[in-house]
Amino acid sequence: MSLPAQTATEVYDEAFRAGLRPDPLLTISEWADRYRRLSGKAAAEPGPWRTDRTPYLREIMDSLSPSAPVERVVFMKGSQIGGTECGNNWVGYVIHKSPGPMMVVQPTVELAKRNSKQRIDPLIEESDVLRELVKSPRSRDSGNTVLSKEFPGGVLVMTGANSAVGLRSMAVRYLFLDEIDAYPGDVDGEGDPINLAFARTRTFSRRKVFMVSTPLVTGLSRIEAAFAESDQRRYWVPCPHCGEFQVLRFDRLRWPKKEPQKAAYHCTACEQAIFNHQKNAMLARGEWRPATEGDGRTRGYHLSSLYSPVGWYSWERAADDWEKAQKDVERLKSFVNLVLGESWQERGDAPEWQPLYDRREDYQIGDRPARRPVPHRRRGRPAGPH
């Protein structure tokens, strides 16, 4: 029945140490790899979360970890890169490892309710550790509703940027502002909803604010303004041929006209063609590099959909979407916002796409378009026929 004395002591010591030892300081990406499960209801790829699938999200998530000396994290992004999950993993981490008052703001209260049911509920229900900490709203006296989830040491409140009452509801240590370019400019006559939400974090010295959005209109874009105040990180990936690190740019994607299925990326250094299936290896070796110092407490990340992992949004799709968007300003605007993750410049009479479209030429994959000869003009002579 009894264990040998030595072993029993060891067992006791081990239990004693485990009880006293604080939880290892997991980063958010490590937490997600260990505890997060993607629900079949909400995710394209259900199952255990793997940060390796979207390696560019690792640093963004870890900037939200308590150990990171960052107060504000700004993420300006295209669609289909997994961006929303950064925020969800943060919510899960706060509930489990770093409890405190947290607020998640969507553009409207309606969207906040939808986000709660479609993303937050599955996040909690699919994770064993979170399910134990947050009581189901169906159980009596759970203290939980669609827009408010209590857990030991904290509470998660979800609201809309169109509700001044919601934004003023409580002091928060963690503030997640989602899709901020869709927020109204003024909420219930009380001013900017972002300022109203920021004001709730003032009492916390170790606060964290996460601002995420696809940018909309140049000059009005809140995410672009916040990114401009940051250290402006972009994701540099190496060419599989020559190893040169570069930021993926749409003008390096080339294809014969009307054949977007032949789209290939062309390295800025060696000009060789890179195909979509080679992307994951590039993403895995990529790194975020800041372009400037910023204000010292804000990290900014920009990522277009050209970085979407293999199997999600391909370069061929991007080429196809670009072709389909020609001569239709609304579609082109969506392309610029959602695929390039850039703001759309509204301009006078001539549509922005027209000069760009007119400059397009046909060329073979791998060829650089030849420079047009510059008309020769002798000095001192008037132009024109003599």
Indicate whether 248 belongs to the interface with Zn ion (CB under 5 A).
Answer: no
Site map 98..137 versus Zn ion, x via CB under 5 A: ----------------------------------------
- Least distance in angstroms from the C-beta of 246 to Zn ion: 8
Indicate whether 247 belongs to the interface with Zn ion (CB under 5 A).
Answer: no
Indicate whether 274 belongs to the interface with Zn ion (CB under 5 A).
Answer: no
Task: Choose, by CB under 5 A, the member of 113, 241, 262, 285 that binds Zn ion.
Answer: 241
Residue with Cβ nearer Zn ion (109 or 237): 237
Indicate whether 281 belongs to the interface with Zn ion (CB under 5 A).
Answer: no
For the chain, counts of helices (H) and of strands (E)? 14, 15
Residue with Cβ nearer Zn ion (76 or 267): 267
Residue with Cβ nearer Zn ion (226 or 267): 267
Question: Count of residues binding Zn ion (CB under 5 A)?
Answer: 7
Task: Choose, by CB under 5 A, the member of 3, 269, 356, 365 that binds Zn ion.
Answer: 269
Task: Choose, by CB under 5 A, the member of 270, 281, 284, 365 that binds Zn ion.
Answer: 270
Residue with Cβ nearer Zn ion (148 or 272): 272
Indicate whether 252 belongs to the interface with Zn ion (CB under 5 A).
Answer: no
Task: Find all residues with CB under 8 Å of 27, minimum gap 6, and list them.
Answer: 61, 62, 65, 67
Cα dihedral 176, 179, 181, 185 sign = negative
Indicate whether 180 belongs to the interface with Zn ion (CB under 5 A).
Answer: no
Residue with Cβ nearer Zn ion (104 or 283): 283
- Least distance in angstroms from the C-beta of 276 to Zn ion: 16
Work out the burial of residue 87: count CB atoms within 10 Å of its CB; fewer than 13 is exposed, 13-18 middle, 19 or more buried. Answer: buried
* Dist. CA 79–CA 340, nearest whole Å: 9
What φ, ψ does residue 264 adopt, rounded to 5°?
-140, 155
Indicate whether 197 belongs to the interface with Zn ion (CB under 5 A).
Answer: no
The interaxial angle of helices 28-35 and 83-97, nearest 10 deg, is: 90
Name the token pair of 85: 């999950």
CA-nearest of 232, 212, 238 to 223 is 212
Residue with Cβ nearer Zn ion (124 or 306): 306
Task: Find all residues with CB under 8 Å of 114, minimum gap 6, and list them.
Answer: 106
- Where do the H-state alpha helices sit in the chain? 5-20, 28-35, 57-63, 83-97, 109-115, 121-125, 128-133, 164-167, 193-199, 222-229, 279-284, 315-325, 329-334, 353-358
Task: Choose, by CB under 5 A, the member of 57, 95, 177, 239 that binds Zn ion.
Answer: 239
Residue numbers of the site for Zn ion (CB under 5 A)?
A: 239, 241-242, 244, 267, 269-270
